[in-house]
Amino acid sequence: MDNLLKVALAQISPVWLNKNATLQKIEATIKEAAKEKAELVVFGEALLPGYPFWLALTNGAAWNLKINKALHAHYVRNSIQIEDGELDAICKLAKANKLAIYLGMIERAKDRGGHSLYCSLVYIDQNGETKSVHRKLQPTYDERLTWAPGDGNGLQVHPLKQFTVGGLNCWENWMPLPRTALYGQGENLHIAVWPGSEHNTKDITRFIARESRSFVISVSSLMRKEDFPVGTPFLSEILKEAPDVLANGGSCIAGPDGEWLIEPVLHKEGLICYTLDINRVYEERQNFDPVGHYSRPDVTKLIVNRERQSTVEIED
């Protein structure tokens, strides 16, 4: 039935800063979601190959420290270049299982020179095609020490059965204008990805659902001391400062009335599955629609620049 959509929230840990091992874990999770007959699977922010937790543990803002340079270089080597086909195996799994995917990853973008890193949210459709790559508009606080700011190119929505899906990274979900950019394109299933922890997801998930009258899926990763793999540069220094739990999950789903369908799930690794019914969106839009009958575009209107930004424009 096209009005129903089975979703799977992949609350897993990365094999931290190990690109190949994390890709293998993601692929295994997609296969597991396919066995559950999921039609959309969502992974947390920066899962591939992991969130830059070291910045808070190694005096990350200090100038010219070897530990921070070495960890950044390690991060660059383990980031993803989509143009080189590094997501091809995931795309093939999506197509083979008719499964759409939202994946949080660190992108080393060739169209920006290939050396800076972007926190990107990739949407792969059920035909295995990469439809959008949203680079986080504004890295948060210490993230700016390792991630570059993105652009509006990825502020896109996508059809999925009778749903229209869109997504944002972490604190972008607190930004009213990017949210509005997605609402205005017809979004009724909002994907919010996070590095982890219910302090991020427990309030904003329900707020966005109530504001937009949409389903909202928040997906977080897990990160524990044991998830730092042997071979990580300066591992002993990181572990000395790291708490036992750096990200406790908090993945959840709110319905279009802002009430919980699945409350934040903590400290549990694996898939969280639920079936959504688009009719609930139509019911709740009866009394409020932020970009339809309850909007005043003659008074306030948003302009969105979706041009992919690059330093160089080549004319041969």
Query: Can you list the pairs that 308-314 forms with residues at least 24 positions away whose Cβ atoms lie under 8 Å?
Result: 308/111, 308/151, 308/153, 309/112, 309/151, 309/153, 310/111, 310/112, 311/112, 311/113
- In the three-class reduction of DSSP (H, G, I as helix; E, B as strand; rest coil), residue 312 is classed as coil
Task: Judge if pTM exceeds 0.75.
Answer: yes
Percent of the chain with pLDDT over 90: 96
**Which domains does the chain show, CATH number per domain?**
4-285 (3.60.110.10)
Catalytic positions are 45, 136, 170
User: For 147-179, what is each residue's pLDDT tens digit?
Assistant: 999 999 999 999 999 999 999 999 999 999 999
User: For 44-65, what is each residue's pLDDT tens digit?
Assistant: 999 999 999 999 999 989 999 9
pLDDT exceeds 90 at position 304: yes
Q: Is 194:170 a contact under the CB 8 Å cutoff? A: yes
